[in-house]
Amino acid sequence: MRFEYRTSDIDDFSVTVARVMQNTDNTDHCRVTPHAGRYDACLRHDQLGAVGMITLDYGNSVEIAVDPTVDYFVLQVPLAGGFRVRGRGPEVEAGTDTAYLVDPAEPIWMAWDRRCQMLAVPVERRLMIERGLTLRGPGATRGVPATLPLGSGRGRSFRRWMEFMRAEAGEPQSLVATVAARQAEQLFHALLFAAIDEVCPVAAGGPTPRFVERAEEYMDARLEDDIGVADVVAASGVALRTLYLAFGRRHGMAPMAWLRQRRLERARADLVAGDPSVTSVTEVALRWRFWHLGRFAAAYRQRFGESPSETLHRGRR
């Protein structure tokens, strides 16, 4: 879903930003000071599931002062240009390779340059704490860095995922938006906390096979259901990093890759037992949540050495 707005009236633009980000017309908590010159302010709001991505461009340099709130963290990622920001700690200068996480408990001052185009992603404080507890463990939102590097490592993966979600949100026929929005939102938070953990790691709990088994049991019982990485981590009872490290040691792959392999195995069992006159490859693929048939066929051939159609017709000979 996408909404776009454009104006040269900065006061009117500020009201629209407040409506989109916090569902209010009150701009007292966020004061925008324009500089001399012409303004061509643009807003684009992309929504994919529970994740709202707001692209802001004032068309000129501005200063923005934001009072503390209690409701939202705001992840800010410059898509072009850059900005200076002062919040918890010394002033920081951020460009397109850096994200800044606005803490709702602290005031913030920003100076955007005239080329600055900002992607802002509000995240409810409650949801940030819940997801952090699930994916990172107790104290997940304490000691979170204000800045996240996006040019390498986990930060680069996180940025690519945000760009993908932003593009998919504007596609009227997006399969991600219609059948996988919940998984996309969960992966957004998983990659965000993975990037945070790379900068500011937390101690992982001692490994124990039982929490891996809990994750396996949860996934096995829900192979036909709409589940995502946060669901699996919550079922395991440990932090994401702890689960992924132990799962990798046991299976040589991540939990979601293991889930995909289990679904492939179930699909193969259905194809072997199926009657080609009444069973179709498409029906079986969709039953086990493979929405892209070409990728399903490629993954199936890589795993089993034959196409799904060959299995279906061979099974009834």
What are the structural domain ranges in the chain? 2-123, 261-315
Nearest one of 248, 315, 224 to 276, comparing CA atoms: 315
- Integer CA distances (angstroms), 168 to 52, 162, 174, in order: 12, 10, 6
117-124 and 83-86 beta bridge pairing: unpaired
- Residue-level pLDDT at 217: 93
Q: Tell whether the model's pLDDT for residue 71 goes beyond 70.
A: yes
Q: Tell whether the model's pLDDT for residue 207 goes beyond 50.
A: no
Tokens 């409650």 identify what position? Answer: 126
- Take residue 75 and report the two structure tokens written for it: 């992840």
Provide the 3-class DSSP secondary structure of residue 172.
Answer: coil
Model pLDDT for residues 116-151, shown as the tens digit of each residue: 999 999 988 888 888 877 777 665 555 577 888 998
Contact between 177 and 168 (Cβ < 8 Å): yes
Confidence of residue 316 (pLDDT cuts 50, 70, 90): low
Q: DSSP strand E in the chain: where? A: 2-7, 30-34, 41-48, 51-57, 62-66, 72-80, 83-86, 92-94, 98-102, 108-112, 117-124, 147-149
- Residue-level pLDDT at 191: 92
What's the mean pLDDT in 236-244?
89
Q: Which residue has the higher pLDDT, 303 or 219?
A: 219
- Take residue 87 and report the two structure tokens written for it: 């919040």
β-pair partners for 112 = 62, 83
- Residue-level pLDDT at 221: 95
Q: What is the CATH number of domain 261-315?
A: 1.10.10.60
Contact between 165 and 54 (Cβ < 8 Å): no
Provide the 3-class DSSP secondary structure of residue 4.
Answer: strand
β-pair partners for 30 = 66
The one-letter code for the residue type at 189 is H
CA distance 29 to 271: 60
Confidence of residue 33 (pLDDT cuts 50, 70, 90): very high
β-pair partners for 92 = 85
Q: Tell whether the model's pLDDT for residue 238 goes beyond 60.
A: yes
For residue 94, how many other CB atoms are within 10 A of its CB? 22
Q: What is the CATH number of domain 2-123?
A: 2.60.120.10
Q: pTM of this prediction?
A: 0.71
- Residue-level pLDDT at 135: 77
Nearest one of 84, 144, 125, 128 to 108, comparing CA atoms: 84
Nearest one of 45, 43, 62 to 53, comparing CA atoms: 45
CA distance 209 to 242: 11
CA distance 123 to 137: 18
Q: Tell whether the model's pLDDT for residue 315 goes beyond 80.
A: no
- Residue-level pLDDT at 296: 94
> Using alpha carbons only, how large is the chain's radius of gyration in Å?
23
Provide the 3-class DSSP secondary structure of residue 272.
Answer: helix
DSSP class of 224: T
- Residue-level pLDDT at 138: 62
When the pLDDT of each residue in the chain is averaged and rounded to a whole number, the result is 87
- Residue-level pLDDT at 206: 46
